Amino acid sequence: MLTKKQLDLLEFINRRMMRDGVPPSFDEMKEALDLRSKSGIHRLITALEERGFIRRLPHRARAIEVVKLPEALEARSGFAPRVIDGDRNDPPRGAMPVMVGAEELPVMGRIAAGTPIEALSHESHRVAVPQSMMSTGKSHYALEVRGDSMIEAGINDGDIVVIEEGATADNGDIVVALVADQEATLKRFYKRGGMIALEAANPAYETRMLPGDQVKVQGRLVGLIRTY
């Protein structure tokens, strides 16, 4: 039996995982539950982990995986895990073994979650992704993350992000943004008047404010393959 706060937090984490493919930060959890400090969030997360509803991945900042939901919550949420574990020792080239209900996506280079690097250049290899992670009728591709600017969103250096192709995004979406037709970066997207804010999930990085005509959305994040 979960308390109301435990259930509210579990539902919030799952909803954000379904929307973004990554868990919310502790600050976002604190704000969503209207708590005064992060210590309350730590206690709730520990309780959920002890009851087997979530799993914290060791040595990974903000890395939380929803394992199961209470029946009532599962029925109305359409629960499906959106983070899968990979192995950093897998060969860097060639297809990974295809799992049941999976589709192979091209890994189209590296995306910056930090300093600018080349991205969306060419297919380097392919990766198997569960079909439940992707939207029906949409095109998808994958990118390897380099850098730590999105670490508080659970996106770490070396992870593979699954991107749904598209030229539009809603406020708060994590997107692949092409800046001035030169630099591709993975950031949270916000429209602010005629400007676009590209917000990192790491306090070491400042939010970038750019004119709207200098930012082109290349797709939004829908899933994450975590590597070790």
64 within 8 A of 48, measured Cβ to Cβ = no
pLDDT band at 121 (very low <50, low <70, confident <90, very high): low
Predicted TM-score (pTM) of the model is: 0.58
More confident residue, 102 or 67: 67
Res 65 pLDDT > 80: no
CATH class of 84-226: mainly beta
Q: Which of 37, 77, 121, 149 is catalytic?
A: 149
Token pair, residue 115, equals 């300093």
In sequence order, the 6+-apart residues with CB closer than 8 A to the CB of 157 are 113, 114, 145, 146, 147, 148
Portions of the chain given CATH number 1.10.10.10: 4-81
Q: Name which CATH class applies to 4-81.
A: mainly alpha
109 vs 215, more confident = 215
Active-site residue identified among 124, 138, 187, 191: 187
| 38 in active site | no
Contact 157, 167 (CB under 8 A): no
> Other CB atoms closer than 10 Å to residue 148's CB: what's the count?
18
187 is catalytic: yes
Cβ atoms within 10 Å, residue 42? 12
**Which part of the chain has CATH 2.10.109.10?**
84-226
- As a whole number, mean pLDDT of residues 162-171 equals 91
Taking 70 as the threshold, does the pLDDT of residue 87 lie above it? Answer: no
Instruction: Of 156, 127, 133, 158, give the one whose Cα is nearest residue 17.
Output: 133
Mean pLDDT of 117-142: 76
